[in-house]
C-alpha cells in the first residue's frame, strides 16, 4: 500500500513546471506515484458504482416486466400505483402543493440508489459518554513526517474509540461525619453536612436513597420489568444491599410525591386531546383474583348462576394526542376499556369538540355512556392482520387486502411527508384511499352475496369484519385527524405485559395503582423524548414546588426548559472559550449532564485546530 504524502499547492505547481520542462528530480517520483495511485483508486471506484447502478436498473426492469395488470392499472383519478410507493402522476385534481416536488426530492427507496446505513451506532449515539482527549506529544504537529521524511505533519481528525464500561445499577457513598462527645453533659457534636445528605432522598438516618436512586428504581422495576427480589439478588453481589421491602417503601413514598404530576398529566391529556387510542390486555392482581374466586364459590354454594360475575382483570392502555405532547396512561383492575374511557371523559369539557377515538372492534370498547363525545373508529391494522392470518388458505383474498392496505398506509406516509394538516390529510385519503377501500369492500360483499364463503370458514371473520365495521374502518376518510391504526397504544401495552412476565402479579389493588401511575409517567416521558431517570429525579428533587405547580413539570414543559438551559450553557461556554484562548489552557470543569444524573467531564477545554495553509493529501 502506498504511503500517504501531504504536499502543498505551491509544491504541486512547481512539480507541474518541472514536468513541462522534463526536468524531474529524484524526490518527484514518490509524488507522481502517489498521484497515479490515487487516480487508479478513483477510476476503480467509479467503475464499481456504474456496474452497481446498471445491475439495479436491470433488476428494476425485470421486476416491472413481471408486474400484473392490476398493479399497473390506473386508479379512478388517472394516477398509476407502483408496488413500493404511493401514486405517481400529474398534479391534477386532488393533488396538493409540493406533492410533485416531494416525490422526487423525498424518495429514498431501493430504486433511488441511496446508500443504506450499516446499522451500527456512531460515536454521537453515546451522548452520555465521558470525553477524554489524548494529545500528541509536543513537537509533532508542524514537524516533518518521520515515515517519509518529506511532508509536514498537519492536524487531522481524531480517532474515536468508544469504551463501554460495566457498572452496578445503584452505587453507594459512605459518609463519615466526625463526632465528639462531652464527658460532662453527654452532648454530641457532629461535623456539618449530614442534614444535606439526608435531605437529598428517602430513607432513615442510617441509610438514605438519593432521588436519582429512587428514579432509577422506578424505571428498572416498572419499565424494565425487573422484580424487587431480582434487583436485591443482583446488588447483594455488588456490595450495595437493596432489600426488596425497602424498594417497595421507596416507590410507594415516591408515588405520594409524584401523584400531583400524574393528576395534572391525566387532566391535561383528556381536556386537550385531539385523538384517543386505547386497548387492554390481561393482568393479574392476587387479592382481586381471590375476591373473584370467593364470589364464584359463594354463588355455587347457593346454587345461583355465576354468569353475572366479572372474572376478567385487565390492564388498559390509553394514548392521548395533544397539541403540546403525548400522554400515555395505564389502568389495571377489574374493569374493561369502555369503563375507563367513561371515567376519563367525565373530566372533558362539555363544549369541547368530539374526540376522535380508535381501538379494535371488541364490543367492550364501545360499551360506555360517552358515545356522543366521540368519533369512533376501528384500527385498520387489525383488519389487515385478520386477512394475513388466513393467507395460506386464501391467498387470492389476502393478495387483494394486502395490495389495498399497502397503498393506503403509503398514502398516509405521503400525507405526513407533505406536512398536510388534518383536513388536507382527510381530503387526500378521500381522493386516493377511499377507492381502494371500496375495492376491498366490494370483494367481501361479492363473496357473501354469491355464497362463496360460509360462516364456518376461516375467511368469514375478516370478510364479515370489513362489512360490519365499514363505517368505522373508513372514518379516516370522513373525519379529520383519525389515525389509521392503534400501533402506538399496542406498543405501550408492552410495558405492563413485560412487568407481568417478570413479576407475575400485583399483590393488591393499591400496588397496581402505584404501578400504573409510575408506568404512565415513564411512558409519557419516553413518548415526548425525555430521558425518564433524569426527569423523575428532577421532579422528586423539587417535589415541594411540584405540589404547588405540577403543570410546570409536565414532560414537554420539562423538555423545553431543558433545551433552553442547554442553549444558555452553550452560549456561556462559547464566551468562556473565547476568553480562555487568550488566557491559555484551563483545566477540565465538572458539570452535570443534562439528561442523566451524575457528573461528567466537560470537553470545552479541547483546543481548536487552525489549518496552517491549504494542503492536499495524496495516496491510496
pLDDT: which is higher, 397 or 593: 397
For residue range 150-159, list pLDDT tens digits in order.
888 888 888 8
Geometric angle at alpha carbon 366, from 459 and 484, rounded to 5°: 60
pLDDT of residue 583: 55
CB-count burial class (<10 Å; 0-12, 13-18, 19+) for 258: buried
CA dihedral angle for residue 184, residue 186, residue 187, residue 190, rounded to 10 degrees: 120
pLDDT: which is higher, 1 or 298: 298
Task: Kindly report the average pLDDT of the chain as a whole number.
Answer: 82
Q: Which of 115-129, 403-417, 537-551 has the lowest mean pLDDT?
A: 115-129
- pLDDT band at 594; cut points 50, 70, 90: very low
For residue range 210-232, list pLDDT tens digits in order.
999 999 999 999 999 999 999 99
Half-sphere exposure of 120 (CA within 13 A, CB side): 4
pLDDT of residue 106: 40
Whether 33 has a pLDDT exceeding 90, the answer reads: no
pLDDT of residue 283: 94
Taking CB atoms within 8 Å and a gap of at least 24, the contacts of 72-81 are: 75/432, 75/435, 75/436, 76/435, 77/431, 77/432, 77/435, 79/432, 81/407
pLDDT of residue 588: 43
- pLDDT band at 233; cut points 50, 70, 90: very high
> What whole-number percentage of the chain has pLDDT above 90?
48
Mean pLDDT to the nearest integer, 469-491: 93
The β-bridge partners of 321 are 275, 326
pLDDT of residue 473: 94
pLDDT: which is higher, 179 or 88: 179
Cα dihedral sign, 492-496-497-499: positive
Q: Which of 7-16, 53-62, 170-179 has the lowest mean pLDDT?
A: 53-62
> What is the SS3 assignment for 55-107?
HHHHHHHHHHHCCCHHHHCECCCCCECCCCCCCECCCCCCCCCCHHHHHHHCC
DSSP-assigned letter for residue 553: G
The β-bridge partners of 276 are 320, 357
- pLDDT band at 24; cut points 50, 70, 90: confident
For residue range 109-146, list pLDDT tens digits in order.
444 444 566 667 888 888 778 888 888 888 888 888 88
Whether 364 has a pLDDT exceeding 50, the answer reads: yes
pLDDT of residue 419: 92
Whether 396 has a pLDDT exceeding 90, the answer reads: yes
pLDDT: which is higher, 574 or 610: 574
> What whole-number percentage of the chain has pLDDT above 70?
82
> Alpha-carbon distance 610 to 339, whole Å?
67
In order of 160, 247, 414, 485, the CA distances from 488 in angstroms are 37, 31, 19, 8
pLDDT of residue 275: 92
> Alpha-carbon distance 188 to 423, whole Å?
73
Q: Which of 23-27, 332-336, 415-419, 614-618 has the lowest mean pLDDT?
A: 614-618
Geometric angle at alpha carbon 360, from 359 and 366, rounded to 5°: 70
Q: In 273-374, which ranges are continuous DSSP H helix?
A: 286-302, 337-345
Count CB atoms within 10 A of the CB of residue 44.
Answer: 11
Mean pLDDT to the nearest integer, 48-73: 63
Q: Which of 358, 306, 351 has its CA nearest to residue 473? A: 358
Whether 102 has a pLDDT exceeding 50, the answer reads: no
Whether 242 has a pLDDT exceeding 70, the answer reads: yes
Whether 590 has a pLDDT exceeding 80, the answer reads: no
Instruction: Give the chain's length.
Output: 620
> Alpha-carbon distance 609 to 541, whole Å?
41
For residue range 257-281, list pLDDT tens digits in order.
999 999 999 999 999 999 999 999 9
pLDDT: which is higher, 10 or 391: 391
- pLDDT band at 584; cut points 50, 70, 90: low
pLDDT of residue 496: 95
Whether 608 has a pLDDT exceeding 70, the answer reads: no
Question: Global pTM?
Answer: 0.71
Nine-digit cell string for 80: 398509476
- pLDDT band at 61; cut points 50, 70, 90: low
Whether 510 has a pLDDT exceeding 90, the answer reads: yes
Mean pLDDT to the nearest integer, 547-566: 94
For residue range 301-345, list pLDDT tens digits in order.
999 999 889 999 999 999 999 999 999 999 999 998 888 998 898
Q: Which of 454, 412, 416, 417 has its CA nearest to residue 433? A: 412
Amino acid at each position: 500500500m502506498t504511503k500517504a504524502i501531504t504536499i502543498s499547492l505551491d509544491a504541486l505547481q512547481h512539480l507541474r513546471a518541472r514536468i513541462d520542462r522534463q526536468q524531474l528530480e529524484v524526490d518527484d517520483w514518490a509524488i507522481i506515484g502517489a498521484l497515479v495511485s490515487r487516480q487508479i483508486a478513483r477510476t476503480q471506484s467509479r467503475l464499481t458504482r456504474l456496474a452497481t447502478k446498471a445491475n439495479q436498473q436491470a433488476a428494476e426492469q425485470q421486476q416491472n416486466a413481471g408486474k400484473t395488470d392490476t398493479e399497473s392499472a390506473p386508479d379512478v383519478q388517472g394516477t398509476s400505483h407502483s408496488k413500493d410507493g404511493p401514486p405517481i402522476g400529474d398534479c391534477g385534481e386532488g393533488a396538493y402543493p409540493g406533492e410533485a416536488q416531494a416525490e422526487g426530492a423525498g424518495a429514498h427507496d431501493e430504486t433511488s440508489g441511496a446508500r443504506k446505513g450499516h446499522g451500527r451506532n456512531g460515536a454521537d449515539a453515546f451522548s452520555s459518554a465521558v470525553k477524554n482527549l489524548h494529545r500528541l506529544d509536543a513537537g509533532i504537529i508542524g514537524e516533518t513526517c518521520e515515515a517519509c521524511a518529506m511532508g509536514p505533519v498537519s492536524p487531522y481528525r481524531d480517532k474515536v474509540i468508544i469504551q463501554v464500561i460495566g457498572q452496578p445499577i445503584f452505587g453507594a457513598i459512605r459518609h463519615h461525619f466526625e463526632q465528639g462527645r462531652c464527658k460532662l453533659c453527654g452532648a454530641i457534636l457532629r461535623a456539618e453536612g449530614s442534614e444535606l445528605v439526608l435531605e437529598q432522598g428517602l430513607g432513615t438516618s442510617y441509610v438514605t436513597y438519593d432521588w436519582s436512586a429512587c428514579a432509577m428504581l422506578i424505571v428498572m422495576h416498572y419499565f424494565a420489568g425487573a422484580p424487587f427480589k431480582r434487583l436485591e439478588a443482583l446488588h447483594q453481589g455488588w456490595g450495595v444491599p437493596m432489600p426488596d421491602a425497602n424498594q417497595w417503601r421507596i416507590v410507594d413514598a415516591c408515588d405520594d410525591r409524584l401523584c400531583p404530576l400524574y393528576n395534572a398529566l391525566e387532566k391535561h391529556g383528556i381536556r386537550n386531546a385531539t385523538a384517543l387510542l386505547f386497548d387492554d390486555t390481561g393482568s393479574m392482581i392476587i387479592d382481586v383474583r381471590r375476591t373473584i374466586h370467593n364470589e364464584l364459590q359463594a354463588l355455587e354454594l347457593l346454587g345461583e348462576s355465576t354468569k353475572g360475575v366479572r372474572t376478567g382483570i385487565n390492564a388498559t392502555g390509553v394514548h392521548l394526542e395533544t397539541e403540546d405532547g403525548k400522554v400515555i396512561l395505564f389502568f389495571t383492575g377489574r374493569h374493561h376499556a369502555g369503563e375507563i374511557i367513561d371515567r376519563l371523559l367525565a373530566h372533558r369539557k362539555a363544549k369541547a369538540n368530539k374526540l376522535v377515538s380508535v381501538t379494535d372492534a371488541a364490543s367492550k370498547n364501545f360499551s360506555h355512556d360517552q358515545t356522543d363525545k366521540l368519533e369512533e373508529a376501528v384500527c385498520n391494522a387489525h383488519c389487515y392482520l385478520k386477512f394475513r392470518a388466513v393467507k395460506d388458505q386464501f391467498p387470492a383474498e389476502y393478495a387483494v387486502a394486502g395490495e389495498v392496505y399497502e397503498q393506503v398506509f403509503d398514502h398516509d406516509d405521503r400525507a405526513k411527508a407533505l406536512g398536510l394538516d388534518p383536513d388536507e390529510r382527510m381530503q387526500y385519503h378521500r381522493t386516493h384511499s377511499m377507492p381502494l377501500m371500496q375495492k376491498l369492500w366490494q370483494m367481501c360483499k361479492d363473496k357473501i352475496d354469491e355464497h362463496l364463503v360460509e360462516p364456518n370458514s376461516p375467511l368469514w371473520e375478516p370478510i364479515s369484519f370489513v362489512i360490519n365495521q365499514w363505517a368505522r374502518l373508513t372514518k379516516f376518510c370522513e373525519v379529520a385527524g383519525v389515525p389509521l391504526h392503534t400501533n402506538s397504544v399496542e406498543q405501550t401495552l408492552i410495558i405492563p405485559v413485560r412487568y407481568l412476565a417478570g413479576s407475575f402479579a400485583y399483590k393488591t389493588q393499591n400496588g397496581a395503582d402505584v404501578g400504573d401511575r409510575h408506568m404512565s409517567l415513564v411512558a409519557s416521558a419516553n413518548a415526548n423524548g425525555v430521558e425518564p431517570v433524569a426527569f423523575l429525579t428532577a421532579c422528586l428533587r423539587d417535589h415541594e414546588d411540584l405540589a404547588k405547580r405540577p403543570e410546570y413539570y409536565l414532560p414537554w414543559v420539562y423538555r423545553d426548559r431543558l433545551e433552553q438551559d442547554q442553549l444558555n450553557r452553550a452560549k456561556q461556554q462559547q464566551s468562556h472559550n473565547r476568553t480562555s484562548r487568550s488566557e491559555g489552557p484551563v483545566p477540565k470543569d465538572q458539570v452535570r449532564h443534562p439528561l442523566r444524573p451524575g457528573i461528567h467531564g466537560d470537553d470545552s477545554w479541547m483546543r481548536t485546530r487552525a489549518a496552517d495553509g491549504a494542503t492536499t493529501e495524496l495516496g491510496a
